[in-house]
Amino acid sequence: MARKLKILYVDTEEVWRGGQAQLFSLMLGIKERHHKVCLAAPENAPLSVRAREKGIETVPFRQRNELSLAAVFRLWVILRNRDFDIVYVNTPRAIISGGLASKLRGVPLRICSRRVNFPLKSPLSRLKYNWLQESVVTVSLSIQETLIEGGVRPDLVQVIYEGVDLKWIDAHPPTSLLEGGERLKVGMVAHLSPEKGHYVLLEAAARIVSRFPEVVFVLVGKGKSMFELQDKIRELDIEDHVICTGFRHDSEVLTKEFDIFCLPSLSEGLSSAILVAMASSLPVVATQVGGIPELVVDGETGLLVPANDARQLASALRQVLESQSLRRRMGQAGRRRVEQSFTLQRKLDETEQLYLTLLASDRMVRK
């Protein structure tokens, strides 16, 4: 029988995005394998609330600045009376505090995740990965390459793709939550921030609606770009063709109402939303950036276009909108691809094996 572990997961975000959704599914899966799981996160963050609802122990932890001695002390206090095997930091802000606190407390294994594909900008960034972590888990080969190019030791970086709970997806059939009736729906689920490229989709929509007046574009999410995007919708005179839902806890169910999923990101580590769309048998039109090409096979499960190019995005969307058979074929191929390579079970297996392998290596070094 595999060794039973005690793991502290640390997350500093007070919002619910893909990183929090993926950590939530990871914690649930690891807990179901009879490991002891604890979460340190802001007390009223959606992640903490959901974790408590599922019986996961949570302890309040907030950190606003990356270089925070107070955060180091707070985490050291959390670790002081507990015998954790692993500290797993899910957000970049807590890598230094989590690494220092766990080193001071003598926790055997420190791991952090990296989900964004931005280059490392400073010697401090390289130091915090190379010195404070035994492993850096990335969600795509693209991020792995970016970290290594930025000076992180190759032996530290491990790729574990995100995964989808297909049983959960299949247990929630499509509903009629959206307005728009029988109109074709192009949907996008993403935080409303500039790097997601919402404005490129709106510009593409303005090129499409004259030829496809029955199409509606559904934007699911909230964020700092909300007011600018509303202004853009009015400027392009496409109010009758755009639905902004705001943040939705049921976005996975909502996705099943789409006919096409679109993600025109300017930068992307991978994309949990694309995985959900493919698991829901939707064709995907997205940009050829970051880890997206590791998910979407161009011409097979969807179409890929250059970033920040509304003309080519509109052309790809038209191609998929014109053919129901193409949408069906790409959607089915996407579902098969998720079943083969991007399941939650595979993610849990690889993560658990990483934990056990690294801990075994640590024990051999200490002997």
* 68-92 pLDDT, tens digit each: 999 999 999 999 988 999 999 999 9
Task: Give the torsion sign (CA, 141, 143, 144, 150).
Answer: positive
- For residue 298, count CB atoms less than 10 angstroms from its CB and return exposed for 0-12, middle for 13-18, buried for 19 or more: middle
Q: What is the pLDDT of residue 329?
A: 98
> Nearest to residue 220, comparing CAs of 249, 194, 190?
190
Phi and psi dihedrals of 214, rounded to 5?
A: -90, 0
> Nearest to residue 313, comparing CAs of 193, 184, 183, 197?
197
Q: What is the pLDDT of residue 250?
A: 87
User: In angstroms, rounded to a whole number, what is the distance separating the alpha carbons of residues 164 and 162?
Assistant: 7
Structure tokens at 349: 């297996």
Task: Give the torsion sign (CA, 128, 130, 59, 49).
Answer: positive
Phi and psi dihedrals of 257, rounded to 5?
A: -85, -10
Contact 89, 109 (CB under 8 A): no
User: In angstroms, rounded to a whole number, what is the distance separating the alpha carbons of residues 39 and 47?
Assistant: 9
User: In angstroms, rounded to a whole number, what is the distance separating the alpha carbons of residues 112 and 157?
Assistant: 10
Q: What is the pLDDT of residue 367?
A: 39
Q: What is the pLDDT of residue 81?
A: 82
User: In angstroms, rounded to a whole number, what is the distance separating the alpha carbons of residues 192 and 199?
Assistant: 10
User: In angstroms, rounded to a whole number, what is the distance separating the alpha carbons of residues 259 and 326?
Assistant: 11
User: In angstroms, rounded to a whole number, what is the distance separating the alpha carbons of residues 315 and 204?
Assistant: 8
Structure tokens at 317: 């969307």
Q: What is the pLDDT of residue 139?
A: 95
DSSP bridge pairs for 58: 39
What 54-58 contacts at long range (C-beta under 8 Å, 24+ apart), as own/partner pairs, is 54/28, 55/31, 56/27, 56/28, 56/31
Q: What residue ranges define each of the domains in the chain, with the CATH number in brackets?
A: 6-163+343-366 (3.40.50.2000), 167-341 (3.40.50.2000)
User: In angstroms, rounded to a whole number, what is the distance separating the alpha carbons of residues 177 and 154?
Assistant: 46
Low-confidence ranges of the chain (pLDDT < 50): 1, 364-367
Q: What is the pLDDT of residue 180?
A: 59
Q: 311-342: string of b/e by CB count within 10 Å (b at 16+)?
A: ebbbbbbbebbeeeeebeebbebbbebbeeeb
Name the pTM for this structure. 0.90
